[in-house]
Structure 1
């Protein structure tokens, strides 16, 4: 798939945008590979890197190169009048609308109506929707006429100009659909040109997605200074975009349209979907807005999540007779199953939203150790009790425990289980053992920490830990020892919200047993290792980590939850280091918006790690001929490979400086405490790719990543065998989203998956299930009416 793109230069605040194109044969445009490719016009390894922070806007000194035109060619200069206001940056969405946007759009309608030869463009559909809701009918009719006669063009049509580096492709699709639906329903048109002049750089995902949505031409503004200079010299400001999968069409994103009356109150979801799209804005998801604006985004997301929980509960209640109230149990928010004399047992329904089978680990809080977990038909389910540690005080909660058990679920299946409190603890529920140097007052057996190392073992691997940190692992199938060290360090950072500008080499956060103060909790199902992350160089660093190993895992993998608290560390950036003996050379693979993996090569001549950090939304991977290590995460981050066999990840940062990009001193000086999720997955390889520039996850790793990003739904229930219909699901087809279009139609977004089969035990993907799922339903693109 090829898309037109042009680059431009901002010359007048937020009002006027000018781009320059030489008149040429429209049938012979300049064709380029993607900017990140090692082939074609741009070679990453030969590009200069300039990361000096001087607070000034970059200006171009490159003169126009007339060698690309003949003396008879006409230089066409297009002046495109537009106005751009961020849906949140220095002010909140509402503040910008009240102070600027409403007047801008009112004046635009008045001026264009009076001057029929004038034209104007607008891109922020989120603001346009707000204006539409408040405008009178006369103003609405005038705007509709201006759009339909071409005086006012709605460019891009997305809800916001989303960031293109760290957004997930599924959220970007929703951002497009939300905006295009509004435009089409109210103006009976769909955008054909995208105007993306404010996001920080451009990737391969948005041209592809916009192309699938009917956009033929794209204007992009912010590319690397050095890339732009090369494009100017070569007369290549107008070019065709080619994605890595263009030739083979490995990714197919379609919309399955079905007529239905099943969602009677589906319009209640609309404002919450729009909230999710709003925070894909490039100044929201990147945290490059002022603190009070970020708080506004957080409040919007929190309120949306609360309303979604209530709507989900209402849907479940409607499916169960004689049940008026259903509570959604989100363990992450601290919900608990509380037993007492009146409520000694409860039914829980667990729903798997993924399109593959899982053996799901369920973790809940309970207030009694005498808890039994049973299947729908009454068979006891093996469960493990763990102490609920209060990390700040390093003690066990006296009121609550955690219970862990497993439930096998098919794709899109719901199952009911029974939990009850008995007089005594049943044999199927086992207590954990605690290993610690601390004196912990709890009902669990406490043992002293052994000297030296501590080993965790399951059917696939043995993990060796020391002072609460992973040191190495042993593959039990091959008997091969795999060095794997996870540690932390920090940079003194003179940058700001936009710029990473380390002042010197990183300094290690050296941990000993006293500083780490590890606690190990072991049982038949899972083992956890708790430890502090402290440094004598950063005395106010208050973070900790929890490794978790599943005893019945079929993969060479383990999980890490990192609780980051860097409120008072000053101008510093905390990073996590992963050290192996994988011979990956100078390359690391990072995911591109969750779609595929792209090779990133280290600039050996760069004097700063800033030049070698790459954005990654969900995953990073290094590999050699025999091994692959994938690090999956539940939040976007930056990735760097400083040396062979090593990966470094951004964790957290606080900065008081002004990097000259728009925010002021102190705007990035506070970072909220956060819980970061990771999963480390080790795989053996037996096939070497001839050209490894673009890769995909193995089937197992893709499912692990999906499970990390999409959790099961748990809610209280009643004993009823009524459940969602299930059927065999194609192993290479993923359901991305389900959303309504209007009162009679809804759309399901599917993705055809590609798996890497070069790893051992990759898992075959063979299915006889029809791709269209039902013979009378056609796969088609999002409709225009």
Structure 2
């Protein structure tokens, strides 16, 4: 029987393509067969806003004709290693809503197109499945994995992206044969050095058929993709289209003479449709995948694991941006602000969407581009600040005495990470309003920089709180660019902050100073959960959660390989030796003991210091590190890649765990991959994995788990039993020649960059049942650090009594707190009298005896500011009603499984009661009636 093959040519979109979109648009308009795909809504709408009505009309017509397909639909093609799931979902929601508003259902994406991110995560695949997509296309997987998959016909698979969500999380996944590049023998771009031709030559056709036959050996159906693109392709789009037209015409002529090859323009959606038809017809059994695609190596000496840490300050800034974005969206809804502020909110949403790009938060861009990203994010934060100020004034207003209230100038001090805030340093009286963006009650330790004096902190109910003054570490005092009079940090605890609400604290300064005393080590050993070596000053034990854990924490650094072709760079991590160099043999410690916090100020050398903090009410140890300026030697030009290493006595059997974009934990084993046999070429960088929020190790015999939580994305590993290491900061004095085109050596204030950050160490039993599992402790910390309570500050001329008479000092957006295993992931304005609500179950299956169970939530009378009138569930992106979403089912095992849509049988009933299974996220559009209006 003669074989019939379908050859599909895909036109690819790339950031550089936006310049040439008019040529593409013109060609597709004059050709009924030409089709094109477009990715990244940010670039699309940047172009769209400048177009006249006629061009917009042509564009819409092409979408309605199916000639132009928008795929993925997010604001940018996000990275999958260094991004947090909340920010990924946000930027998809924003992009998909923009597409829906302009193009309607015909423009709605149904395919994921992740062809340029450097490795692929399970959580990203899970997000695509929950968006209701039919499949995803991937461009970059490990060269060894790719070779094996091509040899075993497993380059297409069903990826089960969540162990907790099970079959509902499965999504058809295609590994592209040639990445997103055009085949070199049939590339017609100016950089391909193609030859001109008039009648299509036989040898080019033969090259094409050879390419097709090679792919037919790899994939299971007779549908073949020929990608036609590359970075900054289509510079001569008209030439390219004419030659492809000639190629298609030539192929059709051969068909009339019995050729088995059918050549056409097509799209990823059409390809999936054809594969789905073959799946059903041939009863194809697709292989399953349960792990992820990290780390990514393109060659034996090219492990793309350096970008997990590159530009650590930008990575932290992105997290701060997300924190404030959620606060702004929540306050916008709770205060019932009108559309006047919609543009302000959009500015930060768009900046955050761009920050998720695979050459943004990754740190794999040139310095001037990184500066521009930081500028955009700063503008977004500044634009969102009026939303917060107006909302807080609305929610704190009482007008109880009939007098006109003055507007409170709520502000955020974004330089408190270097203990700098002009307001708290200069004001005699100031107000600290602490907003809690979580759905449950929490305690929060407030820290603001001040000058010498005696400070009194008064709570909303009039109680004077225990406050503590602590000297600022000398390395912070001398940080490049710091302009501050503050020499002390004022610390107090804001207890029982209400869910989606705030408490306001009145702070006044008096003349008498009150400093924490400098103690001898023997005293701190008796009063804290940490102990230090008397010989070298290093931490050597923690006692936490009823467990005594011998553990040592030290700083090291790796030097880059000296080979000119394979140095560490923005993308690559390639150390010269597998054993890093220790920073210091001894540590200088100073101890500050107080009722609010106990601090150990450590100095390792002139460019590394650390503050270890123990809070009475917390079950973690905080390591607040400061690294930089990194040494830079132009003569040797080697990189300095600094790590923090925790060394314990745990026997971990070469196994550790890292999170996937802040959600499910992934099991890692040194020098091993779950779905293919690894040939070890890089024993250090080849065992580095992305750590978005957490890395942990376990000892089954001791029933002991040790976890370290991070405040930003970092590279991490456990190269030896009982070890955890995280890379904090790096400079790379040679370019790794993968696209950046310059060295990675960040400067600020004319000096190499200084970076500050925090790790949170937790330890406890993970096998023995208890009232509070180690998993629940870690979830609690991760949530409180990712969505940290936000400190708003303002000067005041009122005394405490007058202020309390004029303003509400406490407010809760929820009438009742949600359970510990449920979180309001999204609360944002969605239109006239509508909001978008996204609820998530934050526990995996079997993670906790109690909290991993399904939970029921009643939304009726939950919110203080409005009443629910009607709710309807959508897909994860908020752009399609869930009950109208139909997915193609590739899971053929005897009969078609019931996975065609994402609809939950236990849906919303008339009483607004919903159910959440472990790790489930559910999204709703809610129609409301305001109880309090602005």
User: What's the TM-score once normalised by structure 1's chain length?
Assistant: 0.77
Q: Deviations over 1:634-688 (max 9, x none)?
A: 1111111111111121122211223232232525576732212211111123349
Indicate conservation of the 8 Å contact 1:573/1:653, yes or no.
Answer: yes
Question: Which residue in the other structure is 2:417 paired with?
Answer: 332
Q: 2:539 aligns with which of 457, 463, 470?
A: 470
Alignment partner of 1:303 out of 371, 379, 383? 379
- After TM superposition, give the deviation of residue 392 of structure 1 in Å: 6.3
Structure-2 separation of matches of 1:476 and 1:738:
34
Number of aligned residue pairs: 660
The structure-2 alpha-carbon separation of the partners of 1:477 and 1:243, relative to structure 1 and needing over 3 Å to count, comes to closer
Q: CA deviation at 1:260?
A: 10
Hey, what does 1:183 align to over in structure 2?
99
1:600 aligned partner: 668
**Cα deviation 1:35-94 (Å, max 9, x = unaligned):** xxxxxxxxxxxxxxxxxxxxxxxxxxxxxxxxxxxx743333211112312xxxxxxxxx
Partners of 1:339 and 1:498 in 2: how far apart?
A: 41
Structure 1, 563-572 or 394-403: larger mean CA deviation: 394-403
Q: For residue 643 of structure 2, what is the aligned residue in structure 1?
A: 575
Is the 8 Å Cα contact of residues 567 and 673 (structure 1) preserved in structure 2? no
Residue 125 of structure 2: which of 207, 214, 218 is its match? 207
2:475 and 2:545 map into 1 onto residues whose CA distance is 33
Match of 1:143 in 2: 59
Superposed, 1:206-225 pairs within 5 Å as 206-225=124-143
In structure 1, C-alpha distance between the alignment counterparts of 2:47 and 2:364, rounded to whole Å: 25
* DSSP 3-state at the match of 1:188: helix
Contact persistence 1:169–1:205 (CA under 8 A): yes
Q: Which blocks of at least 5 consecutive residues in structure 2 are unaligned?
A: 171-328, 398-404, 562-566, 673-679, 795-802, 863-867, 882-934
1:429-472: CA deviations, max 9, x gaps? Answer: x520135xxxxxxxxxxxxx66xx8845557x343355553222
CA contact (8 A) 2:161 2:169 kept: no
**Is the contact between residue 444 and residue 494 of structure 2 (CA under 8 Å) also seen in structure 1?**
yes
Matches of 1:730 and 1:178 in 2, distance apart? 28
Q: 2:430 aligns with which of 336, 339, 346?
A: 346
Could you tell me which residue of structure 2 aligns to residue 591 of structure 1?
659
Q: Per the alignment, in what secondary structure is the counterpart of residue 594 of structure 1?
A: coil
**Equivalent of residue 516 in structure 2, options 432, 441, 455:** 432
Q: How does 1:65-214 map to 2 (within 5 A)?
A: 72-85=2-15, 101-102=18-19, 104-189=20-105, 190-214=108-132
| CA positional deviation for 1:362 | 0.8
Matched, 1:637 2:714: yes
* 1:553 corresponds to: 617
Q: Closer, same or farther in 2 for the Cα pair 1:123/1:306, shift >3 Å?
A: same
Shift in Å, 1:481: 4.8
Aligned-residue offset at 1:347: 3.4
- Aligned partner of 1:506 in structure 2 is 579
Tell me which residue corresponds to 2:723. Answer: 646
- Note closer, same or farther for the CA distance 1:735–1:662 as it changes in structure 2 (3 Å cut): same
**1:335 Cα offset (Å):** 1.9
> Given the alignment, which residue of 822, 838, 841 partners 1:749?
838
1:739 and 2:656 are equivalent in the alignment: no
The answer as to whether partners of 2:539 and 2:551 remain within 8 angstroms in 1 is no
Query: What's the CA shift for 1:238?
Result: 2.5
Is residue 269 from structure 1 mapped to residue 345 from structure 2 by the alignment? yes
Deviates more, 1:277-286 or 1:225-234: 225-234
Tell me what 2:180 maps to: none
CA separation of 1:263 and 1:749: change in aligned 2, threshold 3 A: farther
Equivalent-residue separation in structure 2 for 1:413 and 1:669 (angstroms): 38
2:767 maps to what in 1? 686
Uncovered stretches (5+) of structure 1, i.e. residues with no partner:
1-70, 86-95, 436-448, 535-540, 689-695
Relative to 1, partners in 2 of residues 1:274 and 1:725: Cα closer, same or farther, differing over 3 Å?
closer
Identify the residue that residue 612 of structure 1 maps to in structure 2: 687
Change (3 A) 1:704 1:573: same
Deviation at 1:223, TM superposition (A): 1.3
Rounded Cα–Cα distance in structure 1 between residues aligned with 2:707 and 2:355: 28
Give, in angstroms, the shift of residue 241 of structure 1.
1.8
1:287 to 363, 369, 392: 363
The residue aligned with 2:500 is 412
Give the aligned partner of residue 228 of structure 1. 146
Residue matched to 1:56: none
Q: Check conservation: 1:339, 1:345, Cα contact below 8 A.
A: no
The answer to whether the aligner puts 1:702 opposite 2:779 as a matched pair is: yes
Deviations 1:343-392, CA, capped at 9 Å, x for gaps: 64333322111122222111112234221111223211111111233326
Residue 609 (structure 2) aligned to one of 530, 544, 568: 544
1:526 aligns with 2:615: no
**Structure-2-length-normalised TM-score:** 0.65
**SS at 2:739's partner residue?**
coil
| Contact persistence 1:365–1:400 (CA under 8 A) | yes
* TM-fit CA distance, 1:234: 2.0
Q: Give the match for residue 23 of structure 1.
A: none
Q: CA deviation at 1:284?
A: 0.8
Task: Report the Cα distance in structure 2 between the residues aligned to 1:476 and 1:81, rounded to whole angstroms.
Answer: 57
State how far apart, in whole Å, the 2-side matches of 1:465 and 1:777 are: 62
- CA drift of 1:312 comes to 1.4
Q: Which of 705, 719, 733 pairs up with 1:628?
A: 705
Deviation at 1:769, TM superposition (A): 4.9
C-alpha offsets along residues 458-507 of structure 1, whole Å, 9 cap, x if unaligned? 57x343355553222235846x4533333323233422221111122333
CA distance in 2, matches of 1:757, 1:405: 37
TM-aligned CA deviation for residue 129 of structure 1: 0.7
**Which residue does the alignment assign to 1:39?**
none
| CA displacement at 1:273 relative to structure 2 | 0.5
Structure-2 residue corresponding to 1:662: 739
Structure 2 Cα separation of the partners of residues 664 and 344 of structure 1? 51
* Shift in alpha-carbon separation, 1:387–1:674, aligned structure 2, 3 A: same
Residue 766 (structure 1) shift: 10
- 3-state SS in 2 of match to 1:639: strand
